Copies of this chain bind each other. A is one copy, B any other.
Amino acid sequence: MARRLKTPPQPKRNLDARKATILEAVVVEHIDTAQPVGSSSVAQSADLAVSPATVRTEMVALEREGYLAQPHTSAGRVPTDLGYRYFVDHLEAGILGSAQQKQIREFFAHVRGEVEDVLEQTSILLSHLTNYTSVVVGSGHSHASVLSVQLVNLDARHHLLVTVFSDGTVTKHSVLATFEASHVEVSEASRQLNALLIGTTLESKVQVPSRHDVVAKLVREAVAVLHAEMPTLEGEQVYIGGSSRVAEVFEGVETVRKVLGILEEELLVVSLVEDILDKGISVAIGSEHGYEPLSSCAVIVAPVSLEGETIGAVGLLGPTRMKYREVMAAAEAVSQHLTRHFGGDDPRA
């Protein structure tokens, strides 16, 4: 409403020291209390030896410059998205509580199982750690190469194409043929598929046989089915932890509903996270990410990489007044542990 000014009033990216201190004090207190912050409490809390009146004049300026807003006359000030942005940009890296450090270390010392399981568990860890909803994204295998394929026949016309990729993922695809094939033909097709596909990626062009016999038809069919998955974001894995936190952390049923609705759309979540990563930022506040229904949210992301390549990300979603310092530290720590976990001892599992 009134908070969104027509002329985003020249956000000069630097505030003089006192303004900055005041802004920070407002943000910190508002994050803590969820209430508008008045001049006097700022005058006290921040260690600038200055009267509330002075703080007030500064606040007027900060409001004019778009960092603060007033819910109504004669209320305290509330940070705008821009205000949070400044706060976050000037945040010195937070340090994680030792209890949480321990929790993370223990977690990674004990996790077992497939990548998928680890990622899912991690999402739970993150939401426990922060009390916000977490998102863990593992990239698809578009760049991974095929290690092995196998065509298994279920009955005469239904076959299952099972593919193992170099990144340890396994996919299955039904192959429904219009013709019948014998066991022998299926295993021959399987053999040919292996010869054909091993070492290729889903992006590679493959020379399929053009013959008209059953085996060749099977092979063509299988390759087609496998490659059909390519274009979309398919293969991306998304794990959401602690979606129930949404209900505690946002006020207003409507907001809760909207946020939960978004979280249901996995594709959307993936692209949200990837968009943010692409922009090279680690926090998207309010409408910065451009997803309207999430305009009252802040999203924190941290990439997980393997050999220099980004193979996933962890994210946390909360209200714009979230505990940035702690949460960013947690995201950072977990993403590093994940990176190490996959890169270090055991790349794929």
Partner of A244, one of B242, B261, B346: B261
Q: Which residue from B150, B166, B168, B347 sits with its C-beta under 8 Å from A148?
A: B150
Question: What residues on B are CB-neighbors of A170 within 8 Å?
Answer: 160, 162, 170, 172
User: Closest approach, in angstroms, between the C-beta of A104 and any C-beta of chain B?
Assistant: 20
Interface of A is mostly: mixed
| B168 and A160 within 8 A (CB) | yes
Give how many copies assemble into the complex: 2
A348 to B158, CA, bound (A): 8
Is A61 engaged at the interface, CB distance under 8 Å to the other chain?
A: no
**A263 / chain B contacts, CB cutoff of 8 Å:** 243-244
A216-265 contacts to B, CB under 8 A, are: 241-244, 246-248, 253, 256-258, 260-261, 263-264
Report which A residues bind B (CB closer than 8 A): 113-114, 147-148, 150, 152, 154, 158, 160, 162, 164, 166, 168, 170, 172-174, 176, 241-244, 246-248, 253, 256-258, 260-261, 263-264, 346-349
Give the 8 A-B residue pairs with the shortest CB-CB distance, closest first: A244-B260, A174-B349, A247-B257, A244-B261, A170-B172, A247-B256, A148-B152, A152-B164
Listed A/B pairs (26) with beta-carbon separation below 8 Å: A114-B173, A148-B152, A150-B162, A150-B164, A154-B168, A154-B347, A154-B348, A154-B349, A158-B347, A158-B349, A160-B170, A162-B164, A162-B170, A164-B172, A168-B174, A176-B346, A241-B264, A243-B263, A247-B247, A247-B253, A247-B256, A247-B257, A248-B257, A253-B256, A256-B256, A260-B260
